Structure 1
Amino acid sequence: MLPTPIEITREQSSRTIDVTCNTKGRNLDAIAKDINAQPKGVTGTPLIMEY
Structure 2
Amino acid sequence: MTTVPRLTITQDNEFWFNAVREGRLEIQRCSDCHTLRHPPGPACPVCRSFEWD
Same-fold status (TM-score > 0.5): no
> TM-score, structure 2 length as denominator?
0.22
TM-score, normalised to structure 1, is 0.23
Which structure: greater strand fraction?
Answer: 1
